[in-house]
Amino acid sequence: MAVIHHVPMQPTKLELIATWLPTRDWYTGRTEGPEPVKAGGFRLDDPAGEVGIEFMTVTDGTEEGALAYLVPMTYRGAPLEGAEHALIGTSEHGVLGTRWIYDGAHDPVLVGQLYALLSGRAQAQDQSLDDTPDRTVSVFPAEGGAVSGAASAELVRVVEGSDHTDAVVRVRGGEAGELALRVRRVLRDADEGDAPGLGRVIAEWRLPDGSTARGPYAVVEPVL
């Protein structure tokens, strides 16, 4: 179980995201630079208790129609070897010291736990409360054995798309071989039954007008 420390970070996560977003091909926001506002998300626990895992949603500004972006992040106490390209930035934590913050779609710990969530072996946790499941997150496991509750998954490569990132995993102990865990970068409101893929995670985020949207954060896709 992760312990949440309610202490300042310098720079803040939103400040780091504001600098990082324009470097992404899927960011299509304001030309004067992003103004990320936290709008939702959830956490996952690292079984080893070493890596913080958060799926954060931000809206780009507060005006009507502002796009919502999903930024999965991992927080580490030391650099992740070979992941320099995925580093969002470093921040000084009031309790834990320097934290290396990564784009979680490139981090094998986050990807492994996302697979565990999709296979029923992990539970989405509240962003702000210790040991509190987030009941607003819905998981629809893949049908037909594509995601096996007894299987584990190893990250083998990452493929960037126009509005998503595919973390391709090799499934161990299952029948699927390789699968793509598609992380939606640009979020869109959708009915739960409308999300494509072999399995999916549906969650909420707040719109600038105070209403709530709901749609797929991640879906499982076959590797073609």
- Greater confidence (32 vs 34) lies with 34
pLDDT at 150: 58
Q: What are phi and psi of 183, to 5 degrees?
A: -90, 120
DSSP structural state of residue 125: B
CA 72 to chain CA centroid, Å, is 3
The band of 4, judged by pLDDT with boundaries at 50, 70 and 90, is low
Cβ neighbours of 11 (radius 10 Å): 15
pLDDT tops 80 at residue 62: yes
For residues 190-210, average pLDDT: 84
pLDDT, residue 196, reads: 65
Quote the pLDDT of residue 7. Answer: 63
> Which of 19-33, 139-153, 187-201, 209-223 bottoms out in mean pLDDT, i.e. has the lowest?
139-153
pLDDT score of 92 more than 70:
yes
**Interatomic CA distance for residues 67 and 54, integer angstroms:** 20
Residue whose entry in the numeric block shows the structure tokens 């630079």: 33
Q: Which residue has the tokens 């600098």?
A: 19
Q: Which residues contact 3 (CB under 8 A, 6 or more apart)?
A: 130
* The pLDDT value given to residue 219: 94
Tell me whether residue 131 is exposed, middle or buried, using C-beta atoms within 10 angstroms of its C-beta: 0 to 12, 13 to 18, 19 or more.
exposed
- pLDDT value at 147 more than 90: no
Indicate if the pLDDT at residue 186 is higher than 90. Answer: yes
Higher pLDDT, 158 or 194: 158
> Residue 100's CB: how many other CB atoms inside 10 A?
17
| Rounded-to-integer distance, Cα 109 and Cα 98, Å | 19
Assess whether pLDDT exceeds 60 at residue 6: no
- 39's tokens: 């709008």
What is d(CA 81, CA 84) in angstroms, rounded to the nearest whole number?
Answer: 7
Residue 119: closest CA among 199, 44, 223: 199
Classify burial at 217, counting beta carbons within 10 Å of its beta carbon; exposed 0-12, middle 13-18, buried 19 or more: buried
What is the pLDDT confidence band of residue 125, given thresholds at 50, 70 and 90?
very high
Whether the predicted model's global pTM rises above the 0.85 cut: yes
